[in-house]
């Protein structure tokens, strides 16, 4: 099945790195979730993903498929031309950017509109950290945080939480006194000029809870980081099954929960949740394009085993460099085409149903969910 003309809504990705920062940054680090020096300089280039990507990127840049030639071509073409080529080849209808990742080193969200229609996802932990730094008292912080969620700006189409990274997905009903003392501890860090990192369970849980309350009022989706990521994460607490109390909570039934990154390796768990809860959605990002070819096919097949087609979303989780947008789009279309073709061969779907499924997964489901 050839899906090359089907548009894509990339429902979760991140802003590109500014060219002045890109110069000081090791290119292979965009191809690994690890950040230890030995991983970046040595092992990252030994993955199937890296090897396959070198050939694909060389095609787009018109150079030999090796790291040195790619770096030389990027320098020769210039940042904007590389971005233009990657976005043009990706064939996006629009992209949704979580701009809370390395915000001081990334291009502004609106800048990406030059290449593709761009919407914003509000990363709530980043918002909370900023407001804690600016707001001396708990009541003032509480009011400012709730107000920011209530009116996040016209370009914001969803919220994003990285609580999986900080204190885990087993979010509990907030204890306001404990949240307040965590806030006060962080305020002391502000006074001492320390860098803030929101990683106090009572306060992180409070932040997620307030977000879900706001999302319930607005019917706005909340994206949860689930599954693999960089080693800042304790993968045990990134299993989406920990979300059960939130998914069962009567106040949050109107909140679409979007489980990012195929929840890999908890992919079947995510597919199950999407099958039984009306308000749970799954996403293919990061798993595509980071896994091997058979790994990418596995995540698509694992979702299709049980999850409704209407609950599967597509994203690249591209970050730092434009090539990842291109790679995600290219492999997303190709793998989805192959797996859906197999469902026709198996007699699971008709050819027309498989085509409709590809459109649903690549853009229609996101269009409906985010009201784009
Ligand atoms: Zn992401």
- Cβ contact 92:116 at 8 Å: yes
DSSP letters, 245-311, are: HHHH-GGGTTSPEEE-GGGTT-HHHHHHHHHH-TTEEEE-EEHHHHS-HHHHHHHHHHHHHHS-GGG
pLDDT tens for residues 161-179? 999 999 999 999 999 999 9
Q: Which tokens in the block code for residue 30?
A: 């965009």
Ligand 1 centroid to residue 162 C-alpha, Å:
9
Ligand 1 centroid to residue 13 C-alpha, Å:
6
Ligand 1 centroid to residue 224 C-alpha, Å:
9
In which band, very low, low, confident or very high, does the pLDDT at 8 lie, cut at 50, 70 and 90?
Answer: very high
- Does residue 302 have a pLDDT over 90? yes
Ligand 1 centroid to residue 158 C-alpha, Å:
13
Domains of the chain: 13-369 (3.20.20.140)
pLDDT tens for residues 52-101? 999 999 999 999 999 999 999 999 999 999 999 999 999 999 999 999 88
- Does residue 22 have a pLDDT over 90? no
pTM: 0.97
pLDDT tens for residues 124-162? 999 999 999 999 999 999 999 999 999 999 999 999 999
The CA-atom distances, in angstroms, between 363 and each of 4, 76, 167, 273, 310 are: 13, 34, 32, 21, 11
Ligand 1 centroid to residue 226 C-alpha, Å:
10
Ligand 1 (ion): which residues have CB within 5 A?
317
């Amino acid at each position: 099945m050839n899906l090359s003309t089907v548009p894509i809504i990339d429902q979760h990705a991140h802003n590109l790195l500014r060219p002045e920062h890109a110069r000081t940054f090791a290119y292979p680090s965009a191809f690994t979730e690890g950040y230890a020096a030995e991983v970046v300089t040595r092992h990252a280039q030994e993955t199937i993903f890296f090897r396959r990507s070198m050939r694909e990127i060389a095609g787009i840049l018109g150079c030999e498929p090796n790291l040195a030639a790619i770096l030389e071509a990027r320098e020769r073409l210039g940042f904007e031309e590389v971005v233009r080529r990657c976005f043009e080849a990706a064939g996006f209808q629009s992209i949704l950017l979580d701009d809370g990742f390395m915000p001081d080193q990334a291009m502004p969200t609106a800048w990406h509109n030059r290449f593709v229609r761009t919407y914003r996802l509000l990363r709530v932990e980043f918002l909370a950290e900023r407001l804690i730094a600016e707001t001396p008292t708990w009541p003032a912080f509480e009011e400012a945080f709730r107000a920011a969620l209530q009116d996040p700006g016209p370009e914001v189409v969803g919220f994003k939480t990285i609580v999986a990274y900080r204190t885990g997905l087993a979010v509990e009903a907030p204890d306001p006194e404990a949240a307040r003392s965590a806030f006060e501890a962080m305020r002391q860090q502000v006074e001492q000029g320390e860098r803030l990192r929101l990683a106090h369970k009572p306060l992180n849980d409070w932040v997620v809870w307030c977000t879900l309350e706001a999302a319930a009022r607005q019917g706005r989706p909340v994206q949860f980081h689930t599954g693999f990521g960089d080693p800042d994460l304790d993968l045990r607490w990134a299993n989406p099954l920990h979300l059960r109390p939130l998914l069962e909570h009567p106040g949050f039934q109107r909140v679409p929960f979007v489980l990012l990154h195929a929840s890999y390796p908890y992919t079947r768990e995510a597919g199950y949740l999407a099958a039984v809860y009306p308000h749970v959605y799954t996403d293919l990002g990061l798993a595509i394009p980071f896994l091997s070819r058979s790994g990418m096919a596995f995540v698509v097949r694992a979702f299709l085993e049980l999850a409704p087609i209407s609950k599967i979303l597509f994203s690249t989780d591209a970050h730092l460099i434009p090539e990842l947008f291109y790679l995600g789009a290219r492999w997303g279309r190709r793998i989805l085409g192959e797996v859906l073709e197999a469902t026709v061969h198996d007699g699971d779907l008709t050819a027309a149903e498989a085509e409709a499924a590809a459109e649903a997964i690549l853009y229609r489901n996101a269009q409906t969910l985010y009201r784009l």
